[in-house]
Amino acid sequence: MSAAEGTSKPAVLVTGGAGYVGSHVCKALDRAGFLPVVYDNLATGHRWAVKWGPLEEGDVRDSGRLETVLRRYRATAVLHFAALSLVGASAKQPLDYYDVNVNGALSLAFAMQASGLRRLVFSSTCAVYGMPATMPISEDAPTLPVNVYGRTKLAAENLFSDLARAGTLDVVMLRYFNAAGADRDGEIGEAHDPESHLIPLAIQAALGEGKPLSLFGTDYPTPDGTCLRDYIHVEDLADAHLKALQLLETTSGAHAFNLGTGIGVSVRDVLAAVGKLAGKPVPVIESPRREGDPPQLYASPAKAERALGWKAAETHIESMVGSAINWHRKARSAA
Ligand SMILES: NC(=O)c1ccc[n+]([C@@H]2O[C@H](COP(=O)([O-])OP(=O)(O)OC[C@H]3O[C@@H](n4cnc5c(N)ncnc54)[C@H](O)[C@@H]3O)[C@@H](O)[C@H]2O)c1
Ligand SMILES: O=c1ccn([C@@H]2O[C@H](COP(=O)(O)OP(=O)(O)O[C@H]3O[C@H](CO)[C@H](O)[C@H](O)[C@H]3O)[C@@H](O)[C@H]2O)c(=O)[nH]1
């Protein structure tokens, strides 16, 4: 592997590395001996979350600038997180979502090709499956996304797979289920504004810092009537990215993996965990279903275990929620 200028560490370009999942992966990369070079336009990410390598401000749609940065650091691989990723917003701003998520993927592919770089790890999503008929979801389930966000991520997957088939790119596509929790040292965590995800909203509601939590749907065909999701700790996601880089050292082509625990956790289970760990119940307003929410989504992580050598170390929702509350309290007291 070639090394970054001024350091003996191999450089990895991390688009979207100032965001929630990307920043946790940067910390893991640093610990594993890589130099994470963050390439981010700070649309939803934060300067303070870039702690383990340089920040190159830029837009993924700017292929020329991407190429310059790839060459300057002699990057050995790219981890591509940069995206717009809110399901609801994607229906209202489809052009923006196609532009950043699909045009951004094309722009990156051109920059990688121009600089002779083949290794890519792509942040994909369980949203590519839509509303699958059978659970748990394996990678060969039909990909029939039901929202614009999922369709843009699938379009990017298709682009990267086609390039791999043509022999010009090697890619691992990691289909995350619901990213949850925070760095256990409390250095970084989830900080979206506006926030739409269940766990941070429930924490804010329990601590009296936000509105009561609107519980979207209590009449689903699930054991307690609320949606089941597969929450996966963000540090486990980070570990999977290191494993994906290892796989790319020995394997070519395109490979997709589900990243989840394999356990379906209901919204009420999450709220109970938050209430217990916050020491105060989450104030809840039972509300109608949110459009486009599948009743249940949980992974079969068997392929990731077999072919990537990865398995979630954290499977308890209370521990995941605990790390999120810990970070939330620390961030609030520092503010
Ligand atoms: N959080 C989840 O539960 C989840 C689940 C499945 C998949 N994903 C995927 O994981 C990735 C990261 O998600 P996240 O939750 O960390 O989101 P995030 O919004 O916290 O991070 C995205 C980062 O990309 C940057 N970015 C956005 N547009 C850009 C552009 N045009 N040019 C350069 N940088 C840009 C943002 O500033 C931000 O730092 C996304 O690709 C998302 O689709 C997330
Ligand atoms: O205020 C809220 C927010 C969420 N929920 C419920 O909590 C569950 C989890 O919702 P999130 O918004 O936290 O997460 P999603 O499952 O909607 O979204 C996740 O999965 C999507 C694919 O389905 C995308 O990949 C997305 O990026 C990722 O965050 C859902 O049942 C949702 O209805 C509520 O009841 N109230």
- pLDDT surpassing 60 at residue 3: no
Looking at per-residue pLDDT, the higher value among 293 and 305 belongs to 305
User: Contact at 8 Å (CB) between 237 and 283?
Assistant: no
The number of the ligand 1 atom at minimal distance from the alpha carbon of 17 is 39
Residues with CB under 6 A from ligand 1: 15-16, 18-22, 40-45, 59-61, 81-83, 85, 100, 104, 123, 125, 176, 178-179
Predicted pLDDT at 4: 55
Q: Which residues pair with 265 in a beta bridge?
A: 229
Distance CA(186)–CA(192), nearest Å, equals 16
What tens digit of pLDDT does each residue of 199-255 get? 999 999 999 998 999 999 999 999 999 999 999 999 999 999 999 999 999 999 999
Q: What is the 16 CA–ligand 1 centroid distance (Å)?
A: 6
Could you tell me if the CB of 214 is within 6 A of ligand 2? yes
Q: Is 44 in the pocket of ligand 2 (CB under 6 A)?
A: no
Interval between CA 289 and ligand 2 midpoint (Å): 11
* Distance set, CA 30 to CA 53, 242, 327 (Å): 8, 11, 20
pLDDT over 80 at 6, yes or no: no
Mutation choice for ligand 2 from 126, 128, 197, 284, CB with most ligand atoms inside 8 A: 197
- Could you tell me where the DSSP H helices lie in 48-142? 63-73, 87-92, 94-98, 104-114
Q: Give the closest residue (by CA) to ligand 2 atom 11.
A: 197
- Taking the CA of residue 85 as reference, the ligand 2 atom at the shortest distance is 27
Tokens of 198: 């269940």
ipTM value greater than 0.95 = yes
- Mind telling me the catalytic residues? 149
**CA–CA distance from 206 to each of 19, 202, 218 (Å)?**
24, 6, 20
Q: Which ligand is nearest to the CA of 124?
A: 1
Tokens of 101: 């998520």
Q: Which helix (H) or strand (E) holds 11?
A: strand 11-15
State mean pLDDT over 172-201: 96
Give the Cα separation of 114 and 39 in Å (integer): 17
Q: Which of 110, 89, 98, 79 is nearest to 155 (CA)?
A: 98
Cβ(126)–Cβ(183) below 8 Å: no
Residue 1 has pLDDT above 60, yes or no: no
Ligand nearest to the CA of 45: 1
98: exposed, middle or buried (Cβ count in 10 Å: 0-12, 13-18, 19+):
middle
Q: Give pLDDT tens digits for 92-131.
A: 999 999 999 999 999 999 999 999 999 999 999 999 999 9
